[in-house]
């Protein structure tokens, strides 16, 4: 048996600026749903044989009506996470000697998904510091080469935004290019769906992967998958052994409280997405305030997302002489009840301003100011 | 937006005899963990880059120490469910034109997993009513044929017990046979691990798949996977793109409160497994009491598991004339605050006695008695 270790979370009550966690904080309704549906397989009380068909609780409505409308797609499913959505699509589309083209800023899970699906990977190069940009034309370059060499590109992936710099690429341009080469495009929206407006139809993309626990105020792991009509039959193919069950979903996916928190938070999530402009404004204010303290935001600038990457030479200099060395920043922030920057980082780090109040953001800026001014 | 539909669970406070749900009821400690770790990605506060390596909360201890000991395996992982464990193994072992041999009582997810992994399926036949038995020698018959025809059997699967009759096959015999043909054996323990003692080493099996939400008092979806040393490298192969991440797990699996409820319930689960004999005794008492009312338990008899399948001609006869027709039983049970038998079933159904008190079981028997005596 395990040693007696605490099952308490030590970061409760702190200001959390971890990009991974800002969009996944439960709403009060989701907290209620979590308690209500916590027991294993509770959602299956009245299951007619398929997760999406459950009407009580209202999973059917959510999957067939609310979610497709929200994502701007023809069909939607709830999965165990964005990576599971991505893998399901890649696996369904996979061919012998097939290949995926993805942005150079892609999340590791896109690479591992392709690897698991037996697909080779070509990446669109990222521009140099400080912007780390993906040029949509980079997709054309690779797809042209692949076409000429006869390689089978089964899917293109664009990370929207990426998880390092929070850069938002012109997805419409990328989808237009991909379709010229008859390659479907999947948008990895783990950091966008649930934070900012995203419509597959408006952007012309064929698939959308989103994350419930990352950006839709849900208890994880849970994700969403949007699919265009054209790829419905291929992606959601039914089992030859059980006509009710979709092969790539292994029948049922988020068969528990995770889907119920997603549903419970959904009205709040729809409402908060409409406030996205305000989130961008806050992020830009924060970026400028950090710049004034000698910490420079990389990536798109002005920035278009709450996830931001900063180079912080001023903190790095301090770390060289600080008593705690490179751990000084983590300790100083912890002292001030701020969490979310990995322990040991001082040269650069990423953070998120998502959903934080102006007061909290000012408090964080003042904390950095104070740390820079007082740490010896 | 969805119509205003309730997110309340209507079956709270009822006696639940649904086999799917009896083993997944949260312990008080799991309820605490659910609230504590409900926010998306909360467990990643101090992540060093891999789910299993997280020491705070104590996931590392659980995955590397507690779980392997409990399952009697060399290596263990937490997955998104038993089906995801099964698919991960099949996908890792899959070969072109490969085949899986499984029992004829296998759960649909074993079939869909094989289908998704591109493997054909051969099933060991099930004996006729009333026992629906799997003869271990059936594995030898099929494996012998496959060997002679040169077909590549990449894996054998035994459902332990199966989810229809709750039959327990001699897994040791099956594993010995499989190993004679150099085929690894996976035990699908969705209905056993967390209820009854199961040791991969004692049974000689190579893989164990278990379900947190079905049998380990956890919030779903979450599962466990046990792996013998021999298959460690193949099943848990690391990504070429990110050496920290295991391909078949897409990096991290149960990245949320689901794993924390599993960990929180674990001491209680370990303790309850030791009381298994008492559970079998209760099941046998119940089976006999049902028999006395004219409802006959199929499968192993005397029975060795809490999951039981009953043929109930006496209820079927009533349904022919009852006011509500075939829905009478569901309504009558609901009236008596008993849940878990699918609406519309009267000819046969399955149920579970797991974790129910003697008083509750007597109450259920009396309810059936009363329904039979009074329904017109």
B153 Cα distance to chain centroid: 24
Residues A329 and A342 in one domain: yes
B7 occurs within a structural domain:
no
What are the tens digits of pLDDT across the range A99-154?
999 999 999 999 999 999 999 999 999 999 999 999 999 999 999 999 999 999 99
pLDDT at A6: 87
Interface test with B, best of A1, A3, A39, A49 (most B CBs within 10 A): A39
pLDDT at A320: 96
Q: Is the pLDDT of residue A5 over 80?
A: no
- Please answer whether residues B63 and B263 qualify as being in contact, where contact means their C-beta atoms are separated by less than 8 angstroms: no
**Which residues 225-284 on chain A approach chain B with CB closer than 8 angstroms?**
239-242, 245, 247-248, 250-251, 253-258, 260-261, 263-264, 266-267, 270
Residues B47 and B193 in one domain: yes
Q: Is the pLDDT of residue A29 over 60?
A: yes
A355 Cα distance to chain centroid: 15
Q: Which residue has the tokens 């990009």?
A: A19
Q: Which of A24, A248, A264 sits opposite B40 (nearest CB)?
A: A24
B4 occurs within a structural domain:
no
Q: How many whole angstroms separate alpha carbon A166 and alpha carbon A305?
A: 6
- Tell me the chain B residues in contact with residue A111 when contact means C-beta distances shorter than 8 Å: 239, 241-242
Q: Which of B2, B240, B256 sits opposite A62 (nearest CB)?
A: B2
Residues B245 and B286 in one domain: no
- Strands (DSSP E) along chain B, which ranges? 15-16, 75-79, 98-103, 120-124, 152-159, 185-188, 207-211, 223-227, 296-297, 307-311, 338-339, 348-352
Instruction: Report the CATH number that the domain containing residue A291 is assigned in CATH.
Output: 3.90.1150.10
A10 occurs within a structural domain:
no
What is the average pLDDT value for chain A, to the nearest integer? 97
Last residue of a domain, one of A211, A240, A272: A272
Query: What distances in angstroms separate CA A144 from CA A118, A120, A139, one per listed residue?
Result: 22, 17, 8
Work out the number of other CB atoms within 10 angstroms of the CB of residue B117. Answer: 23
Residues A231 and A321 in one domain: no
- Please answer whether residues B1 and A270 qualify as being in contact, where contact means their C-beta atoms are separated by less than 8 angstroms: yes
pLDDT at A1: 46
- Of A2, A7, A23, which is closest to residue A210 (Cα–Cα)? A23
- Tell me the chain B residues in contact with residue A221 when contact means C-beta distances shorter than 8 Å: 80, 221, 253-256, 258
- Tell me the chain B residues in contact with residue A79 when contact means C-beta distances shorter than 8 Å: none
Q: Is B62 on the interface with A (CB under 8 A)?
A: yes
Instruction: Give the nearest chain A residue to B269 (CA atoms).
Output: A1
What are the tens digits of pLDDT across the range A194-243?
999 999 999 999 999 999 999 999 999 999 999 999 999 999 999 999 99
CA distance B39 to chain A (A): 5
Per-residue pLDDT of chain B (376 residues; tens, 9 = 90+): 445 578 999 999 999 999 999 999 999 999 999 999 999 999 999 999 999 999 999 999 999 999 999 999 999 999 999 999 999 999 999 999 999 999 999 999 999 999 999 999 999 999 999 999 999 999 999 999 999 999 999 999 999 999 999 999 999 999 999 999 999 999 999 999 999 999 999 999 999 999 999 999 999 999 999 999 999 999 999 999 999 999 999 999 999 999 999 999 999 999 999 999 999 999 999 999 999 999 999 999 999 999 999 999 999 999 999 999 999 999 999 999 999 999 999 999 999 999 999 999 999 999 999 999 998 7
- What phi and psi, each to the nearest 5 degrees, are found at residue B281? -60, -45
Q: Which of A24, A33, A241 sits opposite B7 (nearest CB)?
A: A33
Query: What distances in angstroms separate CA A316 from CA A221, A295, A321, one per listed residue?
Result: 35, 10, 9
Interface test with B, best of A12, A14, A40, A112 (most B CBs within 10 A): A40
Q: Is B14 on the interface with A (CB under 8 A)?
A: no
Residues B282 and B235 in one domain: no
Q: Given an 8 Å threshold on Cβ–Cβ distance, is A213 in contact with B111?
A: no
Instruction: Report the CATH number that the domain containing residue A39 is assigned in CATH.
Output: 3.40.640.10
Measure the N-to-C terminal CA separation of chain A; round to a whole number of Å: 44
Instruction: Give the nearest chain A residue to B7 (CA atoms).
Output: A57
**Which residues 160-219 on chain B approach chain A with CB closer than 8 angstroms?**
211-214, 216-219
Q: Is A44 on the interface with B (CB under 8 A)?
A: yes
Q: Given an 8 Å threshold on Cβ–Cβ distance, is B45 in contact with A121?
A: no
- Please answer whether residues A154 and A98 qualify as being in contact, where contact means their C-beta atoms are separated by less than 8 angstroms: yes
Q: How many whole angstroms separate alpha carbon B11 and alpha carbon B334?
A: 9
Residues A180 and A286 in one domain: no
pLDDT at B4: 59
Structural domain that includes position B193 = 28-272
Residues A190 and A283 in one domain: no
CB pairs under 8 A between A and B: 264
Quickly list DSSP for B133-171. Answer: -B-THHHHHHHHHHHHHT-EEEEEEEESS-TTT-----H
B34 occurs within a structural domain:
yes
Helix (H, G, I), strand (E, B) or coil at B101: strand
Is the four-CA dihedral A360, A361, A362, A368 of positive or negative sign? positive
Cβ density class A171-181: b for 16+ within 10 Å, e for less: bebbbbbbeeb
Last residue of a domain, one of B250, B272, B294: B272
- Please answer whether residues B156 and B182 qualify as being in contact, where contact means their C-beta atoms are separated by less than 8 angstroms: no
Q: How many whole angstroms separate alpha carbon B315 and alpha carbon B371?
A: 9
A333 occurs within a structural domain:
yes
- Tell me the chain A residues in contact with residue B39 when contact means C-beta distances shorter than 8 Å: 21, 24-26, 219
**Which residues 88-107 on chain B approach chain A with CB closer than 8 angstroms?**
91
A4 occurs within a structural domain:
no
pLDDT at A209: 98
Q: Which of A1, A41, A261 sits opposite B214 (nearest CB)?
A: A41
Q: How many whole angstroms separate alpha carbon B169 and alpha carbon B177?
A: 13
Q: Given an 8 Å threshold on Cβ–Cβ distance, is B58 in contact with A91?
A: no
Last residue of a domain, one of B272, B303, B330: B272
Q: Given an 8 Å threshold on Cβ–Cβ distance, is A251 in contact with B58?
A: no
Q: Given an 8 Å threshold on Cβ–Cβ distance, is A108 in contact with B239?
A: yes
Burial class (CB in 10 A: 0-12, 13-18, 19+), A149: exposed
B301 occurs within a structural domain:
yes
Q: Given an 8 Å threshold on Cβ–Cβ distance, is B116 in contact with A220?
A: no
Which residues are CB-contacts of B3 (< 8 A; sequence separation ≥ 6)? A58, A61
Interface test with A, best of B14, B34, B39, B247 (most A CBs within 10 A): B39
Q: How many whole angstroms separate alpha carbon B120 and alpha carbon A116?
A: 20
Which residues are CB-contacts of A273 (< 8 A; sequence separation ≥ 6)? A194, A195, A196, A197
> pLDDT over 70 for what percent of chain A?
99
Query: Order of strands across the sheet with B120-124?
Result: B75-79, B223-227, B207-211, B185-188, B152-159, B98-103, B120-124
Residues A77 and A131 in one domain: yes
Q: How many whole angstroms separate alpha carbon B171 and alpha carbon B179?
A: 12
Q: Which residue has the tokens 């659910």?
A: B34
Task: Measure the CA dihedral B369/B359/A56/A242, to 10°.
Answer: -70
- Of B287, B81, B282, which is closest to residue B194 (Cα–Cα)? B81
Query: What distances in angstroms separate CA A75 from CA A200, A216, A257, one per listed residue?
Result: 11, 18, 22
- Please answer whether residues A257 and B220 qualify as being in contact, where contact means their C-beta atoms are separated by less than 8 angstroms: yes
- Of A108, A111, A113, A66, which is closest to residue A226 (Cα–Cα)? A66
Q: How many whole angstroms separate alpha carbon A226 and alpha carbon A209?
A: 7
Q: Is B346 on the interface with A (CB under 8 A)?
A: no
Orientation angle between helical segments A171-180 and A137-149, nearest 10 degrees: 20
Q: Is B319 on the interface with A (CB under 8 A)?
A: no
Q: Which of B81, B251, B261 sits opposite A112 (nearest CB)?
A: B251
B262's tokens: 């599993």
Q: Is the pLDDT of residue A314 over 90?
A: yes
Q: Is the pLDDT of residue A306 over 90?
A: yes
CA distance A40 to chain B (A): 4
Residues A295 and A262 in one domain: no
Q: Given an 8 Å threshold on Cβ–Cβ distance, is B65 in contact with A2?
A: yes
Query: What distances in angstroms separate CA B207 from CA A352, B89, B185, one per listed residue?
Result: 41, 8, 6
Interface test with A, best of B122, B220, B252 (most A CBs within 10 A): B220
Is the four-CA dihedral B9, B10, B13, B17 of positive or negative sign? negative
- Tell me the chain B residues in contact with residue A220 when contact means C-beta distances shorter than 8 Å: 40-41, 255-258
Q: Is B42 on the interface with A (CB under 8 A)?
A: yes
CA distance B113 to chain A (A): 6
- Please answer whether residues B347 and B316 qualify as being in contact, where contact means their C-beta atoms are separated by less than 8 angstroms: yes
A129 occurs within a structural domain:
yes
Q: Given an 8 Å threshold on Cβ–Cβ distance, is B46 in contact with A343?
A: yes
Q: Give the β-pairing of B185-188 and A207-211.
A: unpaired
pLDDT at A263: 98
- Of A327, A280, A58, A168, which is closest to residue B9 (Cα–Cα)? A58
Residues A290 and A319 in one domain: yes
Q: Given an 8 Å threshold on Cβ–Cβ distance, is B111 in contact with A242?
A: yes
Q: Which of B40, B91, B115 sits opposite A218 (nearest CB)?
A: B40
Work out the number of other CB atoms within 10 angstroms of the CB of residue B254. Answer: 31
Which residues are CB-contacts of A32 (< 8 A; sequence separation ≥ 6)? A264, B7
Which residues are CB-contacts of B373 (< 8 A; sequence separation ≥ 6)? none
pLDDT at A2: 45
> pLDDT over 90 for what percent of chain A?
98
Q: How many whole angstroms separate alpha carbon A274 and alpha carbon A98?
A: 39
The structural domain count of chain A equals 2
Look up residue A295 and give its DSSP letter. -
Residues B76 and B208 in one domain: yes
Instruction: Give the nearest chain B residue to A5 (CA atoms).
Output: B58
CA distance B108 to chain A (A): 7
- Tell me the chain A residues in contact with residue B44 when contact means C-beta distances shorter than 8 Å: 18, 20-21
Q: Which residue has the tokens 């193994």?
A: B89
Q: What is the mean pLDDT of residues A275-285?
A: 98
Q: How many whole angstroms separate alpha carbon B122 and alpha carbon B139?
A: 10
Residues A93 and A218 in one domain: yes
CA distance A281 to chain B (A): 25
Q: Which residue has the tokens 């271990």?
A: B136
CA distance A117 to chain B (A): 9
């Amino acid at each position: 048996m395990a040693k007696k270790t605490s099952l308490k979370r030590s970061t409760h009550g702190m200001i959390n600026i971890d990009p991974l966690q800002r969009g996944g904080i439960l709403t009060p309704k989701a907290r209620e749903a979590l308690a209500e549906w916590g027991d294993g397989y509770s959602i299956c009380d009245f299951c007619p044989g398929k997760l999406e068909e459950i009407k009580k609780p209202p999973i059917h409505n959510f999957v067939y009506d609310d979610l497709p409308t929200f994502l701007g797609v023809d069909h939607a499913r709830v999965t165990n996470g964005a990576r599971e959505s991505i893998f399901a699509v890649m696996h369904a589309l996979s061919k012998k000697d097939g290949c995926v083209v993805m942005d150079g800023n892609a999340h590791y899970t896109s690479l591992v998904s392709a690897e698991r699906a037996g697909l080779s990977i070509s990446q669109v190069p990222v521009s140099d510091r400080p912007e780390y940009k993906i040029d949509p034309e980079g997709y054309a370059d690779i797809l042209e080469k692949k076409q000429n060499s006869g390689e089978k590109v089964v899917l293109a992936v664009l990370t929207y935004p990426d998880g390092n710099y929070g850069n938002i690429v012109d997805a419409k341009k990328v989808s237009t290019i991909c379709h010229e080469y008859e390659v479907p495009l999947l948008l990895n929206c783990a950091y966008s769906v649930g934070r900012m407006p995203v419509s597959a139809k408006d952007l012309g993309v064929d698939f959308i992967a989103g994350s419930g626990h990352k950006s839709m105020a849900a208890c994880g792991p849970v994700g969403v998958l949007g699919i265009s009509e054209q790829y419905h039959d291929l992606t959601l193919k039914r089992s030859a052994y059980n006509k009710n069950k979709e092969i790539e979903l292994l029948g049922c996916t988020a068969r528990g409280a995770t889907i119920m928190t997603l549903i419970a938070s959904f009205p709040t999530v729809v409402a908060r997405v409409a406030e996205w402009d305000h989130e961008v404004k806050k992020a830009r204010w924060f970026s400028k305030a950090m710049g004034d303290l000698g910490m420079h935001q990389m990536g798109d600038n002005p920035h278009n997302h709450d996830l931001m990457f900063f180079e912080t030479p001023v903190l790095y200099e301090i770390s060289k002489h600080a008593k705690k060395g490179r751990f000084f920043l983590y300790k100083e922030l912890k002292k001030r009840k701020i969490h979310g920057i990995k322990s040991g980082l001082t040269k650069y780090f990423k953070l998120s301003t998502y959903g934080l109040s102006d007061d909290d953001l000012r408090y964080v800026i003042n904390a950095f100011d104070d740390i820079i001014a007082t740490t010896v």
